[in-house]
Amino acid sequence: MIANEAIIAQMDASLEAIEASDDPSPSIMFSDANLDENAITKLEILSGGAGYQGCLTCYIDATDSAGTGAGWWAKYTLSGNSIDEIIIQNYGVGYTGTVTHSVINDPGTITSVATYQSQKIGNALFANLTNDGQTSIDVDDMWVSVDGDEPDKLSPDSYSAFGTFFPTETIAIVYLEGELSSTVTSLTITANGVVATESNL
């Protein structure tokens, strides 16, 4: 009886090992990745000014005294006739001088110009990540590491998955390094223990 139980246990273990070997391992890969250095990653309102009306084509731009920065712009919302929030639409690239911000196209009668604070210039990293395996991956927790530094947890706002990363699906990743504007050579994403690294930035 004991011998039979031992044989059955060995058979069960063998079957489990066979099933495990047939279970495909999860896999993720970068479809593409891009680094924008000296991007404006943060800007807040200090004083909302007065007289703003807003419009569909209104926006805030950025002018770089060094002449190297380009591409940054933001939408804004109003409280009454004052700007109360900035929503960055493009982080831009190459801002190395003193940056000034201006509201463009607002048809209001501006009696007090808005002022800004808490500007941060750093790295903006963009990537498309693809599940190239045959297994769905839980992406409630995703981590990013730049040049092998300590991993930083990505906010769910930084990617477009909804809890599960399905096979063949591609999700967009945005990672901002405020106040850090140095050359980056590699980007690593970890999702539920699965790792992808991109070195061609």
Its CATH class, for the domain covering 25-35+124-198, is mainly beta
Is the separation of the CB atoms in 91 and 177 below 8 Å? no
- Residue 6 reports pLDDT greater than 90: no
- Residue 66 reports pLDDT greater than 60: yes
Task: Note the pLDDT of residue 151.
Answer: 86
Task: Note the pLDDT of residue 12.
Answer: 54
Lowest-confidence pick of 4-18, 85-99, 113-127, 179-193: 4-18
CA dihedral over 185, 190, 193, 196, signed as positive or negative: negative
Confidence category of residue 181, pLDDT binned at 50, 70, 90: low
Rounded-to-integer distance, Cα 183 and Cα 187, Å = 12
Closest of 23, 21, 24, 26 to residue 190, by C-alpha: 26
* Secondary structure (3-state) at 162: strand
Where do runs of H (alpha helix) occur along 23-82? none
Task: Note the pLDDT of residue 103.
Answer: 98
Give domain limits for the chain.
25-35+124-198, 40-120
Task: Note the pLDDT of residue 158.
Answer: 79
pLDDT mean over 143-168: 82
pTM: predicted TM-score of the whole model, two decimal places? 0.79
At residue 160, φ and ψ (nearest 5 deg) are -105, 15
pLDDT mean over 37-47: 95
pLDDT mean over 16-42: 78
Rounded-to-integer distance, Cα 156 and Cα 163, Å = 9
